[in-house]
């Protein structure tokens, strides 16, 4: 069983899609675009479309339709062909002049039957048939205005975005997150005439909302297709109540049962609730360059796992803030550049110092191959030194094109090393280490009293001080590493002081970050509103603490593996600095395939 099988799963899926793309107007949703981004690269799609004019558009209600010169459309969608998705399809097609429509869904027909409330017994009788897809094909022709036009609806499992050899991400499930204790009350409110749930341990598939169950089934469908591609019959294991529901659904999934009867290989599939190691995502481990790059550089729009790299330094423009939107940003994903992929793997698998030296080595070798006048210097690798190497490519178009991927990773390194947030990294790391040292010696009240002086309004903060978003990250870290604890009078008073200070800081912020805007629903006009919002957020943070009863059920090896895997979670996945021996698949929970 080879690790490249996970990568080929994505690439073979996209090959099926690209066959349908010739001279088509292509519409992609964000999750599928991210899978393409890491798996094949946008250039493969552009090559497949061909023709004098190439159009790739985001799948959204306001997307521009196709004109008379664009008779063919390809829609690549990550979700169910139902509800709002079908409405957007109809709106785009009705205002276009299409005569040939292909719709690719990353969700299997079996799940579409479930979504349309077809009983399991009836679904079993439909084996080999696809009535849901066939009905949609008829609708597509109707919307195109002629039943003699051509429409196709097919399933291609575009589940993964392979970020590296051993890391695969699931962008379509970036928001799938384990339930918290507070959610038990919501579940109980939805079933007033039935037995009340006492804890998350009692949650199973029968009590979950239909929308959440469908999202779980979509994930299960994709994982089953991956197992089919790998030729394995999986044994499912789970740590955490939410993971247990998903593992049980995969174990009982009808197509998976059929597949397991003939699969030649074996694999263990382990699900772990993301809440069991939030420290992996919010902690500042400090010794891996990729961790810092993903944390400090701005997110690539529409993506959950890539960043924007400012490319202005390779142009004749002045590197001013207003020029940032003029030049298309670079990124980390370089799926079609062998040299850049080798550097990316090295950055993931080495420590910070060695990673910077790897960037320098790759830049020097590339400059030497292009006969650029490079001057070597000894000593520690600095941002200025790397910048001088990158500038050599600036006025050589051929060299710039040949090594564009490498230069993007080089600029990402430079911009991260020079970023103000990187300088603050040591402050985070020092506080986290101090907290770990004091957990066994001090009470939580003392920890909160140490945090209190760090909370400052925007008018009193310097670049070295923590902003409200960073303070929330520290709170998550505090609760995650301490787990459950006894609440006494001193702790209650200390928590209230911290909440009050944070609410005041929220109120005095001139501009809230995108994350804080989501938390506060864009407004914190008064300290009373800020206090209410913060109280709700605080409850969710404290509920996400690592539960001691789960600690006792895990061996040290399992806890270590979980810590490694959890750091690859979507949005801000982080690598521990060494390559894992297993492919990792990450979403709001994580799953691993240690091949047997």
pLDDT tens digits along 10-26? 999 999 999 999 999 99
d(CA 444, CA 484): 11
3-class state of residue 541 by DSSP: helix
Give mean pLDDT, residues 291-303.
91
Q: What is the torsional sign of CA 489, 491, 495, 497?
A: positive
Residue corresponding to tokens 């699969």: 263
Percent of the chain with pLDDT strictly greater than 90: 47
Q: Which residue has the higher pLDDT, 51 or 132?
A: 132
Distance between start and end Cα atoms, the chain:
8
Give mean pLDDT, residues 374-389.
85
Q: Phi then psi for 51, rounded to 5 degrees?
A: 80, 165
Q: Are residues 331 and 306 in contact, defined by beta-carbon separation less than 8 angstroms?
A: yes
Q: Which residue has the higher pLDDT, 275 or 488?
A: 275
Q: How does DSSP classify residue 128?
A: T
What six digits make up the tokens of 136? 């949609």
Please, what is the Cα angle at 516 between 515 and 521, to 5 degrees?
A: 105
Q: Are residues 585 and 229 in contact, defined by beta-carbon separation less than 8 angstroms?
A: no
Give mean pLDDT, residues 540-544.
73
Strands 167-169 and 161-164 come out as: antiparallel
List C-alpha distances in Å: 453 to 466, 481, 595. 11, 21, 49
Residue-level pLDDT at 241 = 92
3-class state of residue 359 by DSSP: helix
What element of type H or E holds 550? helix 548-551
- pLDDT tens for residues 37-77? 999 988 899 899 986 566 889 999 999 999 888 999 999 99
Q: How confident is the model at residue 512 (pLDDT cuts 50, 70, 90)?
A: confident
Mean pLDDT of the chain: 83
Q: What is the torsional sign of CA 40, 42, 47, 50?
A: positive
Residue corresponding to tokens 């899926």: 13
List C-alpha distances in Å: 271 to 57, 240, 524, 591. 35, 8, 38, 5
d(CA 513, CA 23): 41
Residue-level pLDDT at 508 = 77
Q: How confident is the model at residue 573 (pLDDT cuts 50, 70, 90)?
A: very low
Q: Exposure pattern of 317-327 as b/e (b: 16+ CB <10 Å)? A: eeeeeeeeeee
């Amino acid at each position: 069983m080879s690790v490249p099988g996970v990568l080929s799963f994505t690439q073979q899926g996209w090959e099926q899609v690209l066959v349908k793309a010739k001279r088509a107007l292509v519409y992609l949703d964000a999750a599928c675009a991210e899978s393409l981004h890491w798996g094949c690269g946008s250039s493969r799609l552009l090559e497949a479309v061909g023709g004098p004019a190439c159009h790739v558009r985001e799948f959204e209600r306001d997307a521009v339709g196709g004109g008379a010169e664009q008779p063919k459309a390809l829609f690549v969608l990550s979700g169910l062909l139902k509800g709002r998705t079908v409405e957007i399809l109809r709106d785009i097609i009705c205002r276009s002049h299409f005569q040939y429509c292909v719709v690719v869904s990353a969700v299997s027909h079996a799940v579409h039957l479930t979504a349309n409330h077809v009983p399991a017994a009836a679904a079993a009788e439909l084996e080999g048939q696809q009535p849901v897809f066939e009905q949609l094909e008829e609708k597509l022709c109707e919307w195109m205005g002629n039943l003699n036009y051509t429409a196709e609806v097919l399933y291609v499992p575009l589940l993964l975005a392979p970020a590296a050899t051993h890391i695969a991400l699931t962008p379509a499930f970036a928001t799938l997150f384990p339930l918290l204790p507070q959610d038990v009350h919501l579940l109980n409110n939805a079933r007033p005439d039935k037995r009340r749930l006492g804890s998350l341990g009692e949650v199973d598939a029968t009590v979950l909302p239909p929308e959440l169950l469908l999202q779980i089934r979509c994930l299960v469908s994709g994982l089953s297709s991956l197992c089919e591609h790998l030729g394995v019959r999986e044994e499912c294991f789970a740590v955490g109540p939410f993971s247990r529901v998903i593992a049980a659904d995969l174990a009982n999934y009808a197509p998976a049962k059929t597949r397991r009867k003939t699969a030649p290989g074996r694999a263990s599939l382990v699900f772990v609730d993301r809440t069991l190691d939030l420290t992996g995502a919010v902690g500042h481990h400090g010794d891996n360059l990729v961790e810092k790059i993903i944390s400090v550089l701005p997110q690539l729009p529409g993506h959950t796992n890539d960043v924007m790299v400012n490319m202005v330094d390779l142009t004749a423009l002045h590197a001013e803030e207003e020029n940032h939107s003029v030049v298309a940003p670079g990124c980390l994903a370089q799926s079609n550049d062998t040299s850049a992929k080798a550097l990316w793997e090295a950055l993931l698998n080495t420590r910070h110092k060695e990673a910077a030296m790897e960037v320098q080595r790759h830049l020097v070798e590339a400059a030497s191959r292009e006969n650029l006048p490079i001057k070597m210097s000894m000593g520690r690798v600095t941002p200025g030194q790397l910048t001088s190497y990158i500038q050599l490519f600036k006025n050589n178009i051929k060299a710039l094109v040949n090594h564009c991927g490498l230069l993007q990773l080089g600029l990402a390194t430079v911009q991260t090393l020079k970023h103000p947030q990187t300088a603050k990294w040591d402050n985070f790391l020092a506080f986290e280490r101090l907290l770990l040292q004091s957990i066994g010696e001090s009470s939580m009240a003392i920890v909160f009293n140490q945090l209190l002086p760090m909370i400052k309004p925007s008018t009193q903060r310097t670049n070295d001080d923590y902003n409200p978003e960073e303070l929330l990250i520290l709170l998550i870290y505090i609760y995650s590493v301490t787990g459950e604890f006894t609440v006494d009078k001193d702790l209650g008073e200390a928590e209230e002081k911290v909440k009050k200070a944070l609410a005041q800081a929220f109120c005095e912020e001139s501009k809230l970050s995108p994350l804080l805007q989501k938390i506060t629903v864009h407004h914190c006009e008064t300290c009373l509103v800020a206090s209410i919002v913060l109280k709700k957020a605080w409850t969710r943070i404290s509920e996400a603490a690592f539960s001691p009863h789960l600690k006792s059920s895990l061996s040290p090896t399992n806890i270590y593996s979980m810590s490694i895997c959890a750091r690859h979670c979507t949005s801000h996945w982080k690598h521990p600095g060494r390559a894992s021996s297993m492919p990792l698949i990450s979403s709001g929970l994580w799953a691993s395939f240690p091949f047997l």
